[in-house]
Structure 1
Amino acid sequence: MSMKRLLIADSSDIVRKVGRKILSELGYDISEAADARAALVSCETSLPNFMIVDSGLDGALDLITNVRAMPDGKTVRIFYCVIEADLKTMMLGKRAGASDFLLKPFDRKTLTAAFSKSEGAAA
């Protein structure tokens, strides 16, 4: 069983660091991108199993759309990260192809809940 690969696309170093720490302890192989372009390049090189895309990231919706358009892009579970449960933002994320949402700031509890739920669904 290979490790699940997860890409965190967020402009905040702190958010990426926290996400990396928690999720690598949950057994994910983490890569990071500070902007949408770097995230896309990373996906073109090696498509992750999961993505966390910050809604505040410049080009976040295009990033999701572009990943979905890739061969196998439909298999990636994309979490769209929002600061509040703002319906408009969430609808745009959903329309672009987000699978699920994460509320920021996330912590160990929310990440563990989100990712154990998605693991269960994948099995």
Structure 2
Amino acid sequence: MPSCLVIDENNIVQKVASRILSGIRIDTVGVSGLQEAEGLLGMTKTSFDLVLLSSTLPGTPVDVALRSLRGSPVGKAPILVSLVESNLGLMTRAKRAGASGFIFRPFDRASLTAWVEPFLVVAA
């Protein structure tokens, strides 16, 4: 079964993403920041098949977070950056730092599944 790491400062976003993804048979782990994610990855040496990364983590620019993740055990996994609105400058910095794509919040089952499908084989 594929697995996904959701890094988002908002617990509600973590829970909604987890509920939607578990409904399409993707194991999900949610953390609230980059340090928590790095701790999880370092302690367990766990790898994930997909990462959803918030572009608005407090105190962590998205390009810094992406570079850190690319150097971790999830470095080869697709990383989708979660945005609230289109921001060309932020999206350009994210792409240059290694983002595989973008998702927009708020999302629902249909939109999140559509964004994830190109990167994972899901059971709809």
TM-score class normalised by the smaller sequence: 0.7 to 0.9
Match of 2:104 in 1: 103
Deviation per CA, 1:94-123: give whole Å up to 9, x if none.
Answer: 121110100111111111101122226xxx
Task: Please show how residues 1-123 of structure 1 align to structure 2 within 5 Å.
Answer: 3-44=1-42, 45-58=45-58, 59=60, 60-70=62-72, 73=75, 75-119=76-120
What runs of 5+ residues in structure 1 fail to find an aligned partner? Answer: none
Q: Partners of 1:115 and 1:22 in 2: how far apart?
A: 11
What is the root-mean-square deviation in Å for CA atoms of aligned residues? 1.5
The runs of 5 or more residues in structure 2 that have no matched partner are none
CA drift at 1:89: 1.1
What is the Cα deviation at residue 63 of structure 1?
2.3
Q: Distance in 1 between matches of 2:92 and 2:66?
A: 13
- Paired-residue identity, %: 30
Instruction: Tell me the secondary structure at the aligned position of residue 116 of structure 2.
Output: helix
Q: How many residues align?
A: 117
Partners of 1:40 and 1:63 within 8 A in 2: no
Using the TM superposition, give the Cα deviation of residue 35 of structure 1 relative to its aligned residue in structure 2, in angstroms. Answer: 1.1
> Given residue 54 of structure 1, which amino acid in structure 2 is its aligned partner?
S
Q: How far, CA to CA, are the matches of 1:37 and 1:97 in structure 2?
A: 19
For the residues of structure 2 that align with 1:70 and 1:101, how far apart are their CA atoms?
20
TM-score (norm 1): 0.87
* 2:48–2:74 CA contact under 8 A, matched in 1: no
Question: Distance in 2 between the 1:20 and 1:70 partners?
Answer: 22
